[in-house]
């Protein structure tokens, strides 16, 4: 496998490395906001696997080993609409294969706390995904979408995504974090297709 998709020429890559990127905005004013659910997933995994996240160039980064794979966790510090800059930089620096990148993001079109893993797709109006596609020069990258859909009509979309979860919403989202972690680990061990078949559209009790 070669990194032609980024370098424009052949470069060696490490197929045992995975880059897991949680999208969000830095700053205390954005903590626990709907747009920052990707950060919450990374924070959950960092705590679970005792990973120290260090502020480095373009993001907070940490890593751990799991069953022969090196899993790199990343929270971009570029703000949402420049997320791709951080993703590209660390993919190149760590020599990550395109198929070993997983983006964790909120999705306005999915019911609250529902999870959907995909290997490609449009940005759906999400500025973070739009910039990642631009920087990687392809829509063919894996993304784990976490639903934050509102049942209200006529709401302001920007205010909504930058707003805080209600207590009930946050409780429901928090309960989904172990499933997000499980999906990430399955992705690194079994690949995209088998992970999608295992998790997509199935409640936790039906997953095997």
Catalytic positions, please? 35
Q: Is the backbone of residue 85 left (phi > 0), alpha (psi -120 to 50) or beta?
A: alpha
108 secondary structure, DSSP code = T
Contact status, residue 31 vs residue 37, Cβ threshold 8 Å: no
- Walk across the sheet containing 54-56 and list its strands: 54-56, 59-66, 69-76, 17-22, 101-107, 142-147, 115-118
**Total H helices, total E strands in the chain:** 7, 7
Token pair listed for 112: 């609250």
Residue 15 CA to residue 96 CA, distance in Å, equals 7
Residue 123 CA to residue 200 CA, distance in Å, equals 19
């Amino acid at each position: 496998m070669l990194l032609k998709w980024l370098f424009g020429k052949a470069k060696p890559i490490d197929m045992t490395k995975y880059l897991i990127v949680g999208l969000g905005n830095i700053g205390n004013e954005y903590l626990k906001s709907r747009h920052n659910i990707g950060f919450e997933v990374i924070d959950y995994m960092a705590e679970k696997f005792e990973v120290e996240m260090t502020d480095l160039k373009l993001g907070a980064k940490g890593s751990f080993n799991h069953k022969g794979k090196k899993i790199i966790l990343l929270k971009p510090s570029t703000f949402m609409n420049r997320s791709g800059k951080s993703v590209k930089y660390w993919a190149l620096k760590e020599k990550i294969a395109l198929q070993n990148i997983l983006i964790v993001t909120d999705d306005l079109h999915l019911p609250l706390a529902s999870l959907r893993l995909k290997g490609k797709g449009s940005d759906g109006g999400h500025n973070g995904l739009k910039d990642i596609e631009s920087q990687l020069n392809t829509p063919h990258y894996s993304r784990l979408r976490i639903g934050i859909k509102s049942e209200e009509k006529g709401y302001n979309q920007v205010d909504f995504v930058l707003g805080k979860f209600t207590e009930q919403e946050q409780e429901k989202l928090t309960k989904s974090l172990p499933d997000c972690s499980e999906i990430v680990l399955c992705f690194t061990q079994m690949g995209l297709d088998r992970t999608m078949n295992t998790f997509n559209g199935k409640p936790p009790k039906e997953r095997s």
